[in-house]
Copies of this chain bind each other. A is one copy, B any other.
Amino acid sequence: MTELTDFEGAVLAQIGHGGPITAYAVAKRTAASTSEFWSGSAGAVYPLIQRLAARQLLVSTEAQDGKRARTDYVLSAEGRKALKAWLLDAHRASDLGFDPLRTRLVHMDQCSASERKRFMHQVAALLEKAAGTPAPTDDPRLLALHETLTRARLEWFKAFERVHSAMDEPAHRRLAAR
């Protein structure tokens, strides 16, 4: 069996936690998550869940809601095993992944000081806002995760800003400022 992709793992984990659950509900929750990295579109989620079911990681049960057919999914034993292998993969977990902010900050030297200043201001405001907004959940663990994450992100950004702008100052100003 080939390894789960990260999206497959995330969906499997959602089903493992919330199941029995429909593909529609998985899509909606994904779409509502704090990151915009996965859109949670039907076009992604329905085929993905069908693939997982074909691999026997999910078992489906047909149900009827009045006149509308519905398919509910839960993890199979195999599915739970695959989920754990994905979840507990420390090497994959500790990669940096993709951060649109980091990706841009690396190249900040390619714009003028005023452009940079304006950008840093805007970003700081958006990060502050994110840090002030609780996660869309009532699970205290997820709230804590989101809070520590957004706060750490903001602190990191500020630390970088300090270092970066310190480097902008010519040496004599840096000395004079002591």
Contacts and interface: CB of A to CB of B under 8 A. Distances in A.
A26 to B, nearest CB: 13
Contacts of A36: 95-96
A167 B144 contact: yes
Q: Taking chain A's interface residues, is the majority helix, strand, or loop, or is none over half, making it mixed? A: helix
Contacts of A105: 145
A1 interface: no
Nearest to A144: B163
A134 interface: no
B106 A145 contact: yes
Contacts of A37: 95-98
Given A13-B110, A37-B98, A145-B106, A159 B164 contact: no
Interface in A155-170: 155-156, 159-160, 163-164, 167
